[in-house]
A and B are shown apart, each in its own frame.
Chain A
């Protein structure tokens, strides 16, 4: 499974846009990029998934360059409730176990 590298922590303020970048240099052709969010005492929650270019849903956008060796999760106008750990994963989530890494701890300040 492809290894991912992401910042250990990030700080932001309410109302700002937050971009979390993940590196995955050895991503395989069939791998998808998936982001999960985890709050304390809860299981990870699926945010967004993509293969290339840009994907947008009601909570986030995912930007993937042509070489797919990195990806950026964009959270528009964060609020205090977005304080959580964010995990970037690559692989086929439906058929394989997920390799989480340590994630990025996002702290949103008022």
Chain B
């Protein structure tokens, strides 16, 4: 079946530009997570949605980062006024409702800020 889909796979932007990264979760999955992965490191949590509600955004590094999931399905991670330190792979994961449900990851968007 279809997995988590992220687009674009690669994004290059100039410093100061705004970017938007899209995540299409597995159909019917209630929970959606965004992670940031720096080169050679494990993914780090950014934010979590349950349906359309953003229940945890404690991992967002600054107020330049904003995420939404208006209809409880597709989610967008937006980064305003990008900086070089924002260069990373951004991963999206989704899971069904309930405990102990494994998170299913997309292959990420590699963001490079010049």
Contacts and interface: CB of A to CB of B under 8 A. Distances in A.
Given A97-B48, A97-B59, A102-B41, A43 B106 contact: yes
A81 interface: no
Which of B4, B42, B48, B108 is most buried by chain A, counting CB atoms within 10 A of its CB? B42
B44 interface: yes
Interface string A23-41: 0000000001010000001
B105 A43 contact: yes
Interface residues of B, number: 30
A100 interface: yes
A92 B107 CA distance: 22
Given A94-B98, A100-B42, A43 B31 contact: no
Given A94-B31, A94-B95, A97-B56, A46 B42 contact: no
Interface residues of A, number: 23
A44 interface: yes
Contacts, number: 65
A34 B95 CA distance: 14
B99 A92 contact: yes
A92 B98 CA distance: 10
B62 interface: no
A93 B108 contact: no
Given A34-B102, A98-B103, 17 more contacts: A32-B100, A42-B108, A43-B107, A46-B102, A85-B42, A93-B101, A94-B98, A94-B99, A94-B100, A94-B101, A97-B45, A97-B59, A98-B33, A98-B35, A98-B93, A101-B42, A103-B42
Task: Please list the 9 inter-chain residue pairs (A to B) with the smallest Cβ-Cβ separation, ordered nearest first.
Answer: A100-B42, A43-B105, A94-B101, A97-B45, A46-B102, A94-B99, A43-B107, A44-B105, A100-B43
17 contacts: A32-B100, A43-B4, A44-B91, A46-B104, A92-B99, A93-B95, A93-B102, A94-B31, A97-B35, A98-B33, A98-B43, A98-B103, A99-B45, A100-B42, A100-B44, A101-B42, A102-B42
